[in-house]
Structure formats: C-alpha cells, structure tokens
Structure 1
Amino acid sequence: MKIRTKIALVFTLMTGTILFLLSAFVYVVSSKHMEEHFLTRLKVSASIAAESEFEDETNLVREIRDRHLQKLRREKEWFFEDNSSFPREVLKALPRAPTSFIENLMDRGSAASREGFEYYTGFRYQSASTNGKQYFVIASAYDEDGEENLLFLRTMLIIGFSVSCVLVFALGRLFANRIMKPIADIISKVHEITKTNLSERLGSAKGNDEIAEMAATFNDMLDRLETTFELQSNFIGNASHELNTPLTAILGEVEIIRSAPRRPEEYVESLGIIDYEAKKLRDVTSSLLRLSSISYEGKKQKIERLQLDELLMDIKINFDRRMPANKVRMLVQAQEGNTTAYCIVGSSVWLELAITNVIQNSIKYSDNKEVLVTLSSSEQHCFVEISDQGIGIPEEDMRYVFEPFFRGSNTGPYKGYGIGLPLAARIVRLHAGELQIFSKPNTGTKVTLKFNASRDL
C-alpha cells in the first residue's frame, strides 16, 4: 500500500471516528430530549385526566380537554385505589407495563417508564373530593412522532456519515497526492541519476519544509558521491602510474642486462637502478597498505583517553632524535587549573602518525624553515595548528589535496608520493574531527586539526 493511500485512509479513519462520535452524541441527546418532552405532555395529560375524574362535577375540564388539548397516540388513563390489590389490578390492566414502574410508583408515589416508544407515567392522587382515599393515576401513550423523528434522524445521520467518509477519503487522496507529488518527483529524478550523470541535482531543494530539507540532503549526498567517484577515478589512475613507473624501470634494466654481456661496472649501475626503483615500489605499496588499513582496521586500534599536549611533546622528541636540525617549535596555550583541557579519546598511534605526517610536509615544503605547532582549546574542542613558511599550495590544486597520490603542480623538486596528507585527513575523520587547510603560494600553509574534547568514539 502506497503512502498516499495510507494517508487518505488514516485521515478518513480519524475523521470518521469524530463524525461517528458526533452523530452518536446528536442521536442520544435528541432521543433524550424527545423522551422528556413526551413524558412532560403525558404527565400533563394525566393530571388533567385526574382532575377531570375526581374534581370536575360539571364536566367542564373534560370538555376543554377534548376541545383544545391534542390527544396523544393510543393515550389511555387508569385510576386504581391504593390498596393491597393494586399491583394485581395494574398488571391485569397493563400487562406490558414494566415491573419496576409499578414498584417505584408504590414506593415513591410517582414514576415514569418506557418500553420502546410506549410511555408510562403515574402518581398518587388524593383530594377532599375523594373522602381521604388515595388513588393511583396511570397514563400511557405511544410516541409515534418521536419514533418517526428518530428514525428519520438516524437515517440522515447514517447517510451523512457515509457520504462524509467517502468525501473525506476522496479529499484525503487529493491532498495526499498534492503532498506526495514533490516526493514522487524526487524519486523519479533519483531514478534518472546514475554514475554517468552524477552532476544532476534535485530541483526541489527550495523552501523550509521537510521535503526541501530531504532534497537538499540528497543533493549533498550526490555532491559527496560525485567527489568520491572523481577521487576514485583519479586514485586508480595515479596509483597505476606510481606502481607502473618503478616496475617499468626495473623490467627495462633487466632487459638491458639480459640483452648482452656487460662490464661489471654496468651490472653494478643497473642493480643500483633496480634497487632504487624496487625501494620506491616498496614505499608506494607500504603507503597504500597503510592508507587502506585506516579504513578497515582503524577502529580496531586501542582507544584510550590521552592528552594532546603530552602527545605533541612525544612527537617533538622523536623529531629531535631523527632530525636534529629541525626547526619545529611547539606552543601550548596555558590552561591554569584545568588539567583536562587537552584531553581527547582516540588512538595515540594513529594520531601521532597523522600529526607527524603534517609536520613532515611542513618541514619538507618549507626547506626546513621554522614550523610552528600551536595547541589551544575551547569549551568543547581542541585545536592543533601547524604553520609553515613554505611554497604553499596553488588555488587550483586545493580541491585535490586530500586525494591519494595527488601532488601539487609546484612540488616537482620535492620527493614524495602524495599519501601523507590524505592519510592524516582520514585518521582525523576517524576520530570525528576536522582537518582544514589554509594556504597561499610562496607564503606558507596552515593546517588546523580540530577534535572534540573528551568525545567517546
């Protein structure tokens, strides 16, 4: 069942329930009102009948009653003495009268009851003309008009309820179709989008409602998919190039060696080339394995609570040990009285690798000029800023900096494989953080790593 049908059915069910309750209320109140009105008329008729029976010696009341008071359908009056034989006489005269009516009449002195549309009323009567005797006056009548009116009302309510439900369902379908039309358009458009036309976008992303929000979300997803496909395509091309280049060089040297006898010096030279290219191939393969391991094994690393300031100090010590001539300078903003200001949750191994890669890039592309590493924090985040005075990144290359194997157009003189920065970005993203780059050619580059303070992964 489609959503638009479900919406129409639910709307009809809700409205039908309200209409049913309203119709039942109208019917019950109308029935009660007719009952009270008819009983009032019957009681008045019974009182006039009693006065005519016991007080009207000249028959004047009877004449006025017969002339001016409308007689009720099957109206009858009975007069019984209040004695022990009263119940028996009543049952004999009124076999259909309810037993409770007789009992209430004897106990309370007045009563009213009904059986279907047959009404009964009675009261105890005593006056000076009865010589102290008490009588029971009982009247009954059939409410034919009430029966017809209630039957007509019930028929109209049923017809009105049925027509209203059909009309509500039709209107529900109409409004459901109008409501669901943008969604149907989105579904149709999404079906048309394939990997060959990922540049297409949904046109329903305008407005502030949920449908516009959904369309905007789809467009954002398509942006990410398009970028991912582009990155994947470029990655395959670059990876193939990086792997084929050393393999071609190795195979070429082997062919040269095998083509004819050579002098020992030439064999040594060819073996040196093969060794260089093989190591290059090993480095590229190792970088690829390390990059892929972040995606598949990153969450298997030991997750612990760690201090970023202590981690930066360890990284600085390692750089001083491996590169004594480095000009890396650490600056940690003081957080007096707050020992957990730089506390985050993550893998110290991966975070050390990410920060080390960024610092190594800064050292390499600034020709070992000063690299400033600044650690700061806010109430909810920690920031690691790594600034250099290097060659910078051209503006046209900025969109590709996180693509594996991509190298900037101005990095020709520098050795590298284009793995360090994408690897760092993936590690930071794995820790629910952000990596941002601000750079100008021939001015320098600033890389900002943003982490959530004490965030549970």
Structure 2
Amino acid sequence: MTLKRKIAFNLSFAFSILFGLVMVIIYILFNGFRKDEFKDRFRKRLDFTVTFIEKSKNFEEEAPLFFDENSDNVLLNEKILIFDANKKLIYSTIKDQNVEWNESLLDDLDQKKVVYDESSHPEIYAVLSNINSKNYYIVTTAIDVNGNSKLQFLKYLLIFSYCLSCLLLWLFCYYIVGRLLRPLEDLNEQVSDITAHKLTTQIPEQNSKDEIGVLTKSFNTMIARLNDVFQSQKDFTASASHEIRTPLTRMSFQLENLLRQDIQDQEVTQSLKQMQKDVHQLSDLTKSLLLLTRFDKKNISSIYELIRVDEVIFESFEKVEKNFPELQMDFQISNTISELDILEIRGVKSLLEIVFINLLKNAAIYSINHKVEILILEIEGRLVVDVCSKGKTLSKDEQQRLYEAFMRGDNSQNTIGSGLGLRITKRILEYHNADIVYKVKSHNENLFRLMF
C-alpha cells in the first residue's frame, strides 16, 4: 500500500469512527429526550384526570363524555383505569372488552404512590391520589407512536447520513492527501530517472520550506557527492583497465614470439603456455570490466542492435579456441525453432560475446572431456540456449552462491580463474532482460540455460 493510501485510509478511518460515535450519541440523546417528553405528557394527562375527578359533580355519569372528547388530545392509544379505595374498578375507557389489570401494580401504589414502567408495552403510568378525601387508583397506559416513529426516522436518517458522509469523507481525504503528496510523487518520478550515468541531474527545488522541499535539497546535495565519488571510481577503473591492457598486450606478443622459437626444454615451454593463458585471462577480465563501466541497465538500451545468437556463439568459440585448442563444440538448433527470426535478439554484441566466452572457457577448464554441447531451442516463445558440459557438478550450497563475486566451487581446485566470470555474465544478461539458470542435468553433467 502506498503512503498516500495509508494516510488517506488512516485519516478516513479515524474520522469515520469519530463521526459514528457522534451519530450514536445523537441517537441516544434523542431517545432520552423522547422518553422524558412522553413521561411528561403522561404526567400532565394524569394531572388532568385528577383535576377532572376533583371538579366533577357526578363522576361516573360525566366520565364517558369527558374522556371521549379528550382521549386523543394528549396521548395516542390511551387507556385509563380508575379504581376506588377498595381497588374496585369504577371506570375504564376500554369498551366492550373484559378488562384485566395487574393487581400487584395496585399493591405497589400503596407503597410508592407513583409507578412508571417504560419497559412494558404499552408504557404504564399509575398514581394513588387522594381526591375529595377519597383514594383513587388511576392507571394510564399509552404507546408513544409519534415518538417511536420519529426515533425510527432519525435512525435511518443517521445511518444514511453516516454512509454518505463516510464515502464523501474517504474521497475527500484521498483527494486532499493526493494533492499534498503530489510534490513527493513528482520527486519520486524525477529520482527514478537518475541512473549511475546521470548523477549530474539535479531535481528542481521549490521555494517551499516544507519537509519535501528540505528533502529535495538534501537529495541534490547527496547526488552531487555521489557523482564525485562515482566519477572518481569510474575514471580510476577505466584508466586502470586501459593502462593494464597495454602491458598485457606486450606480454602476450612476447610470449607468442618465445613459443614460436625452438625451445628444447619442455618445462619452460609448458610454463610459457601457462603464462600465456594467464595473460589472456587478465586481458579478458580487464576488457569485461572496462565495458561494464560504460553501461548501465537504462542507457544500454540506446545502443541495442539486432544480433544473431548463433553468430555470436561461433565468434566467441573462435576466440576461446585460440587459448584452448583442445576444446570441441557440438552445436545444434532444435526442431522447436519455428522461425529463424527468433535467433535474432536486440543487444550489445561485445557484451554478449563476453557471456559466451565465459561459459565456453568454463567448459574448457572444468569439463572432463574438453567438449561443450550447445543447443538452441524455443520454449513458450522465448529463445533458450543450453550450454552443457561433463564434469564435477556443484553442491546445493555452491549453487546458491554461484553468481557471487569471487565464488569458486570445489571443482575449481588446481585451475586458474578469478571467480568473477559468472558474476559478470549474470550482470550482462540482466542488462539484456535475460535469465541464466544452472542445473545438474545428470551425473557429472552441468547445464547453464540462458533464456532471452
């Protein structure tokens, strides 16, 4: 998850929780207000009933007309039961029905005088009142239809408002955070364009004094310092490689002249041949390092050209054969190749020659029969080159470290080598978007598979 999304998510999540708590508090407070209001209406209705009983001359005759006219003025679905001092029902607003009541409620009134039960359905408000020197038990029940309807409407309104607000809040946060972090994204794009060969590129600095502006200035300072160090290292590598190649070339010519002379001592001849191999190896190594200092993965694509892989392999073999004349190559093109155009790849010929020279030299040095088999085939639309030779295979631990610098396996004992060949090979193939895989094909058979 990107930083922009993390900030937008956390900010929106925090505000959503806070907004949800506010909605819940509003709902709880409104429900409490509804209950208090309904209870107050209940109380007023009872006071109204008590006042009517006090002023009524003939309660039983006037009550039906009075309650019929006022039944819906204050409460909805109101039911009134009036009992005398002996707890005998003397009046009920319930018509044509068998009236039932809870006698324990009347007993509670003897002690509490007032009973309010909001948990029952319908709600109950009852009082024991002394009117004109007589005790009356007045029980009123009602349902807060209007209040519950308003509460239900408020609940759905709050839920809808919460969902809509959260959606708008998330979009708004994502947009605002995106705008605030836009300079950071621009900085990231500009940094991505900087490579080892473009360290002189400076990122445009804004006049703002925020963290991104400070980061930009610090990054430009770091780039300038890295450019100085990298340029010094590059100049040293290029100069050293160039200066080393000159004496190596002279030594190579001198050794060739000595070997052409008729030297009777076989031991001296053998030493001269070994020295010649060492000189060629050093020359190839310096050439590889010199070429690699000139390229990186981004700028190398600008000098790509169409290259036939089979031609590169044969030219590489000719160069290796000069130092290892005993090496034999069995070259084959598989029937899986549908068209010869697949043999053409885009790359740098001089670098790809180094790849196959290193693999062929490994086969010449480490194989037990001085023979290398090369097979070109097509697998799932990819050009594959198998380089196979017979010799001691690598252990699993050695395979994991195969492409590390200066890594040499147990099979390299008593043989010349720097341990940089496969490291350089893998790096060049990465420049060409290609892969290399080592496999133990069978007993004492090593396979390097190149996939372009």
TM-score, normalised relative to structure 1: 0.46
Q: Which structure ranks higher in relative contact order (CA pairs < 8 Å, sequence separation ≥ 6)?
A: 1
TM-score, normalised relative to structure 2: 0.47
